[in-house]
Amino acid sequence: MKHTTRRAFALYAVIIAFLAGVVILFATFVLNGGAWASNRANRHVYTAGQIASAGVIYDRSGAVLAQSVKGKRVYNASSIIRKATLHVVGDAAGFISTGIHSAYKETLSGYSLLNGVYLLKQYGKGNDIHLTIDANACATAYNALNGRKGTVGVYNYKTGEILCMVSTPTFDIEHKPADIMTNTEKYEGVYLNRFLSGVYTPGSTFKVFTAASAIENIPDIYSRTFICTGKLQTSTGVIICSKVHGKVTFEQALNRSCNSAFAQIAIALGNNKLSATANAMGFNKPFKMGNINIAPSTFNVDNANSADLGWAGIGQYDTLANPYHMLTVMGAIANGGSGISPYLVDRIVSPSKTITQRGSLNAKTLITMNSGTADKLKALLRSDVVNFYGDSRFPNLQMCGKTGTAEIGNGKKPNAWFVGFSQRPDLPLAIVVVVENSVSGLVSAAPIVNRVMQELASSYTES
């Protein structure tokens, strides 16, 4: 009898196993509840695979980008704005995974751990999302890209608000083209937001990083001169320059984007120092913007010989750069070394009109640079515009920047880049433009910079 009663305690093992299961179950609900509740099979939220009664998506001035009307998702009235904001807003069917519709579907469906989808059922809609973007600036950028593939991103480097984010190719969500799956040339990567998920060979825009490394590691860099004979012969290969620049200083080398000089600087710095600077300035780091993952920029010269290192120093070799990252680097240079993280969601407003989240409260410094280095780079980038590109290309904008013309091989035309910012105190905006398969940074990308920045200079100026 005594034995039997003691054996009863063995049931405690079963109870403990049971309770462990209960805890695991609760934890999976807390962790996955939002994803489960936002599943397309949830008929509280979706009707025929469409978010039937989700919250409204607004741009910064209150223009409706997407809303639910009688169980159907409808978008902005302007076809241009629909195309320009397609990748920001996303589609209700979820093809564009970085779009607000996908990345914030829990928010739009009004899910919370406490109430589930109760708010949706009670108010007939989920949380509204107010974005930082300016739909008109996006339309201007879309028009300026003029059918070419690429991306334009603009953000306020003091606050982190993204004002413009456009990716092409795009399409009109209200009239989805029938040949979207078959015309692979026209719609190559159409569901990809190139600004967030794209990576490109940076070309000469990478010289900003090489210059930063030189400023920090070569004390007499400003008094050195470099000879450019149109190419640079190294023990392991030749680096080609765009022309014969002759004898140039560090500043002139950046202004004219001299490959010979920057390959020499990269080789003088060595693999480790150039890597250290690139990593410190955000290469090889996975960034997140709210719920959205950013494709990381990659830089690796571990196995590079001196010719490879020379190519890496001018942004070729294996290096790939992401536009969101490059924009943040421009922000860091413009903002005295502190690169504020760009963000898209300004505020989330619940159906009961309470603001449940503010993007500005989550803004943090993504990239930190020595402020002395940042100021020197800023002066160099300003000098690029003043002494080489010409202020006349960017009237009244006081632009600083660097062009890039990235060779991508395979007989394709190069990708054109422009990265830069305005140093006007009332216009604290940084910009990145990539135009695929075009002529050059100065010819293809710079005019887009000017159009978008002029539009914002008139509509968006800080007091």
Q: Which residues bind another protein (CB under 8 A)?
A: 1, 3-5, 7-12, 14-15, 17-19, 21-22, 24-26, 28-29, 32-34, 36-37, 39, 41-45, 111-118, 121
Residue 21 vs 390, nearer CB to another protein: 21
Neighbours of 437 (CB within 10 A): 14
* DSSP string across 80-92: HHHHHTHHHH--T
Taking residue 442's Cβ as centre, other Cβ atoms within 10 Å add up to 18
Rg over CA atoms, the chain: 26
Sorted by sequence, the CB contacts under 8 Å of residue 39 that are 6+ apart come out as: none
Find residue 454's DSSP bridge partners: none
110 half-sphere exposure, CB direction, 13 A CA radius: 28
Q: Which helix (H) or strand (E) holds 376?
A: helix 371-384
Phi and psi torsions of 216, nearest 5°: -85, -25
Closest listed residue to residue 72, CA positions, set 47, 90, 91: 47
Minimum CB distance to another protein smaller for 28 or for 396: 28
Residue pair 435/445 in contact (Cβ under 8 Å)? The answer is yes
CB of 121 to another protein, least distance (A): 6
Least distance to another protein, CB of residue 36, Å: 4
Write the DSSP assignment of 190-257 as a string of letters.
TTS-HHHH--B--GGGGHHHHHHHHHHH-TTTTT-EEEESSEEEETTEEEE-SS--EEEEHHHHHHTT
DSSP state, 43?
Answer: T
Residue 176 Rama label (left phi>0; alpha psi -120 to 50; beta)? beta
The alpha helices in 124-193, defined as continuous H runs, are 135-145
Nearer residue to another protein within complex by CB, 112 or 210? 112
Beta strands per DSSP E along 215-364: 225-228, 231-234, 237-240, 246-249, 288-289, 292-293, 338-340, 345-349, 355-358
Residue 383 CA to residue 332 CA, distance in Å, equals 18
Amino acid symbol at 446:
A
The residue (of 7 and 70) whose beta carbon lies closer to another protein is 7
Compute the least distance from the CB of residue 1 to another protein, in Å. Answer: 5
Q: C-beta of 355: minimal distance to another protein in Å?
A: 21
Q: What angle do CA 52, 345, 80 make, to 5 degrees?
A: 70
Map residue 388 onto helix, strand or coil: helix
